[in-house]
Amino acid sequence: MRFLIPDEIIRLFTLDSALVLARILLVLLVSVLLVKLVAFFTVQLFKRRFSQQSLMILKKVITYSGVIIIWMIVLAQLGLNLAALLGAAGIAGIAVGFAAQTSVSNVISGMFLISEKSFAVGDVIRVGTFQGVVLTIDLLSVKIRTFDNQYIRLPNEMLIKSEVTNVTRFPIRRLNVEFVVRYGTDLMKLKEVLSEVARANSNCLDEPEPLFVITAFGRFGIEMLFGIWFVKEDFLAVRNSVMQGIHVAFNEAGIEFAVPAVAQLEAPT
């Protein structure tokens, strides 16, 4: 079966059109390679001066700018009037701007987030009910990975309006263990037992020293707060080992937690 090609299509494939097409392909190849090289060497040049998220933004700015320039070169090779095209693009941009106010708000919020440097890529942040490791900080959103390996995208405008906690901003953290002991417990003995738990744990820091606070005389017993300092990377190891250490030490010392007997209190007399 033979396919007939219209004469109009045949006339399009002339020597001049083939040369233009070849020139455009060459421009695309060289320009894309040049943009990638410029982005790579620029990131390497400022690698020690800028933070990781600043380098990511710089790389994207170079890439997007390069793509715009490449398209303008290609359109010029096709013989299009760039002045008229830019004028039409400006009018279209105004219309799109009114229709995309949320995106514009996110971009402005992203600039504030980058300039404030409240957190960086690799930090652990908490925003509302979300908590995870920061993967990227972009102009529109921040991406985080939760500890159960979920990928969450948070709009920048949401972060500007919400309370953001940077869990790993400082090199050391404090683990607060809150519990209630029975009335009549020897508090000096309790303090010594807790201090020994901290001293026996290799992940707990001696300076600052552990915190021992009586927070309140509650309904069911004496409410206590025991705080120990540690290097932020050791959070899980410290949490598990300290909890186990307190449990074992209390059993050995005969110290009892005050367990609210809710069921008995609510039972009819």
Helices and strands, number each (H, E), in the chain: 9, 8
Mean pLDDT, residues 196-204 taken together: 92
| CATH number for the domain whose boundaries are 7-99 | 1.10.287
What CA–CA distance (Å, rounded) separates 263 from 69? 73
Report pLDDT for 261: 44
Report pLDDT for 66: 78
pLDDT tens across 79-103, in order?
666 565 555 555 555 555 554 556 6
What type of residue sits at position 5? I
Lowest mean pLDDT among 11-15, 22-26, 258-262: 11-15
Residue 246 Cα to chain centre, angstroms? 34
Tell me the backbone φ, ψ of residue 10, rounded to 5 degrees: -65, -40
With 70 as the cut, is the pLDDT of residue 186 above it?
yes
Sign of the four-CA dihedral 11, 17, 19, 25:
negative
Per-residue pLDDT band at 52 (split at 50, 70, 90) = low
Q: Which residue did the predictor score with more confidence, 7 or 28?
A: 28
Report pLDDT for 227: 92
Could you name the CATH architecture of 115-166? Roll (2.30)
Supply the pTM of this predicted model.
0.55
Spans of all domains in the chain: 7-99, 115-166, 172-253
Topology of domain 172-253, CATH: Alpha-Beta Plaits (3.30.70)
